[in-house]
Amino acid sequence: MDRADLLSLAAGALGTLAVSFLAIVVAAPLGLGLALIRWARIRALDPLVAILVSALRATPAVTLVLLVYFALPTVGLSLSRFAAAVATLGLGSMAFNCEIWRGVLLAFPAEELDAARAFGMTRWHRFRRIVAPQVWRHALPALANEMTLLIKVSPAVSVIGVVELTRAAVRIGATTYAPVPPFLVALAFYVPVVGCIVALQRLLERRYGKLAA
Amino acid sequence: MIGRGLAIVWAQRAMMLSGLAVTAEIVAVSAVLALALGLLLFVLVVRSRGGPLAVAISWLIDLMRCVPFMLFCYLVYYGLPYCGVLLDGLSAGIFALTVYNAAYFAELLRGSWTALPREQIEAGSAFGFHGWRLIRHVVLPPVVMNAVPMLGNQMIQIIKDSAFLIIIAVHELTYAANEVQATFYVPFASFVAAIVLYWLLCLAVEGGVRAMVGRAEVRR
């Protein structure tokens, strides 16, 4: 491995961070939205969301990224590799975020909701003023854990040729005929990144209590 | 057009089902081996509580939980030959899934053990259970039973991670779906069919977990 190889590994690491970060940004609001649909028991949508979330949670990221990248063009929606990668990781993470939010929403004390209702608060008002300010901190540890899962599954997008760290390592290994060193460099990137988020998760758990999910 | 795709996938069902069979076999074998190895690691940690062995194992478990499975899979596949071990893709894949998930299983068991009331173990030793017999008869049964839902979740993770083995050319379900889509150009139908099959596998695991938890409740 020479200097150019290390540079391409660094570029790959940036790719991994970019894809993961954008996927988190996409997944967080969508997951919360789906959880709210289920929480509010909106009649037509609730079972659809339940089925979608159940299927997405069972879908391997590799299979999903192949579906998104190769199948969407057949229905007239062509995504770039990078967009397909973000969409895939975002969809998977959205399903897990939905379950996390649903868990904390279901654990919310019914008495407080009844009290809010007795004060004549509308559904949106109850969520905005009573529920949201209290539940978000209980969701944080699980959301941090989901972030580590997302980073660990992000190499899946390399199967469609997105430039990210694992793919960069594979390509260097293929040209130098020494595959192990670039993988060890990649390892030295993933472990501290994921390790930091795990440490953050433990801190959040200590501060806000573990989620009973 | 989707109808045509589904018809082609149906015509190629032998290919898809053989992929499903390989995936199910990989998952079953590595889940059993990983659980056995995870139990062993857990018992070693419990027995040498606070000792250097326990610290070393916990450290390795924490390290493993920070590594993406796909990277680990590549490391096993390309790294083992350097150690003089030559494995084909399937064996390397099962080996990687086993070692990787043993760390997660051990951690889940440790979590379940931490949540176990100390009095229960003290009562066991008061009744004269020590060492291995204490672990076998007093510690392990509740620790494993309480961990069943988490172990089931991890097994679903194994199902999902098994799709990564496509990168080392294991002929599992995603590989089969990719072959069908590449040959007949039916990406939508073939990958959706694969996802439905993965979903059914996961639902089967969830059903199994629910049945086990239900039986444990009855016995309690």
Asked if pLDDT for residue B128 goes beyond 90, the answer is no
CB contact residues (below 8 A), chain B span 24-83, against chain A: 62-63, 65-71, 74-75, 78-79, 82
Interface residues of chain A, partner chain B, Cβ below 8 Å: 54-55, 57-64, 66-67, 70-71, 74-75, 148, 151-156, 158-159, 166, 169-170, 173, 179-180, 183-184, 186-187, 190-192, 194-195, 198
Q: What pLDDT score was predicted for residue B92?
A: 95
Asked if pLDDT for residue A70 goes beyond 60, the answer is yes
Matching residue, tokens 């089925």: A51
Question: Which of chain A's residues have a Cβ under 8 Å away from the Cβ of B181?
Answer: 66, 70
d(CA B163, nearest CA chain A) in Å? 6
In the DSSP assignment, the letter for residue B80 is: G
Q: Which of B171, B199, B203 is nearest to B14 (CA)?
A: B171
- Measured distance CA(B156)–CA(B158) in Å, rounded: 5
Question: Which of chain A's residues have a Cβ under 8 Å away from the Cβ of B203?
Answer: 54, 58
Asked if pLDDT for residue A138 goes beyond 80, the answer is yes
Q: State the pLDDT confidence band at B159, using cuts at 50, 70 and 90.
A: very high
Give the CA radius of gyration of chain B: 21
Question: According to the CATH classification, is domain A3-208 in 2.40.40.20?
Answer: no
CB–CB contact B68 A190 (8 Å) = yes
d(CA A181, nearest CA chain B) in Å? 10
In the DSSP assignment, the letter for residue A207 is: H
Compute the Cα dihedral for A109, A110, A114, A116 and give only its sign: positive
Asked if pLDDT for residue A72 goes beyond 50, the answer is yes
Using CB atoms, which residue from B71, B167, B203 is nearest to A187?
Answer: B71
Question: Which of chain A's residues have a Cβ under 8 Å away from the Cβ of B201?
Answer: 58
Q: ipTM score of the complex?
A: 0.89
d(CA B196, nearest CA chain A) in Å? 8
| Burial environment of residue A44 by CB neighbours within 10 A (0 to 12, 13 to 18, 19 or more) | exposed
Give the CA radius of gyration of chain A: 20
Q: What pLDDT score was predicted for residue B138?
A: 87
Q: Which of B105, B95, B84 is nearest to B170 (CA)?
A: B95
Please give the structure tokens belonging to residue A170.
């594979």
Mutate to test the interface with B, among A17, A57, A67 (most CBs of B within 10 A): A67
Q: What pLDDT score was predicted for residue A210?
A: 54
Q: What pLDDT score was predicted for residue B1?
A: 66
Give the C-alpha distances (Å, rounded to integers) separating B54 from A154, B50, B51.
31, 6, 5
Q: What pLDDT score was predicted for residue B46?
A: 87
Using CB atoms, which residue from B66, B78, B198 is nearest to A195?
Answer: B66
Encode A80-111: b = buried (16+ Cβ within 10 Å), e = exposed. eebebbbbbbbbbbbbbbbbbbbbbbeeeeee
**For B172-218, what is each residue's pLDDT tens digit?**
999 999 999 999 988 899 999 999 999 999 999 999 999 998 888 88
- Measured distance CA(A4)–CA(A181) in Å, rounded: 14
Q: What pLDDT score was predicted for residue A180?
A: 92
Q: State the pLDDT confidence band at A212, using cuts at 50, 70 and 90.
A: very low
Asked if pLDDT for residue A123 goes beyond 50, the answer is yes
Using CB atoms, which residue from A58, A63, A166 is nearest to B156?
Answer: A58
**For B54-84, what is each residue's pLDDT tens digit?**
999 999 999 999 999 999 999 999 999 888 8
- Measured distance CA(A15)–CA(A12) in Å, rounded: 5
* Residue of chain A whose alpha carbon sits nearest to that of B154: A58
Q: What pLDDT score was predicted for residue A1?
A: 79
Q: What pLDDT score was predicted for residue A22?
A: 97
**For A164-185, what is each residue's pLDDT tens digit?**
999 999 999 999 989 999 999 9
Q: State the pLDDT confidence band at A213, using cuts at 50, 70 and 90.
A: very low
B4 or A33: which leads in pLDDT: A33
Q: Any residues with CB less than 8 A from the CB of A19 and at least 6 apart, and which?
A: A82, A85, A86, A89, A154, A157, A162, A164
Report, as an integer, the average pLDDT of A64-77: 91
CB contact residues (below 8 A), chain B span 147-206, against chain A: 156, 159-164, 166-167, 173-174, 177-178, 181, 187-188, 191-192, 194-196, 198-199, 201-203
Report, as an integer, the average pLDDT of B131-158: 90
Mean per-residue pLDDT over chain B, rounded: 92
Matching residue, tokens 């059993």: B32
Using CB atoms, which residue from B68, B174, B188 is nearest to A60?
Answer: B174
Domains of chain B: 2-219 (1.10.3720.10)
Compute the Cα dihedral for A117, A120, A126, A130 and give only its sign: negative
Question: Which of chain A's residues have a Cβ under 8 Å away from the Cβ of B188?
Answer: 67, 71, 74-75
Mean per-residue pLDDT over chain A, rounded: 92
**For A184-204, what is each residue's pLDDT tens digit?**
999 999 999 999 999 998 898
Note the pTM of the prediction, 2 decimals: 0.90
CB–CB contact B68 A151 (8 Å) = yes
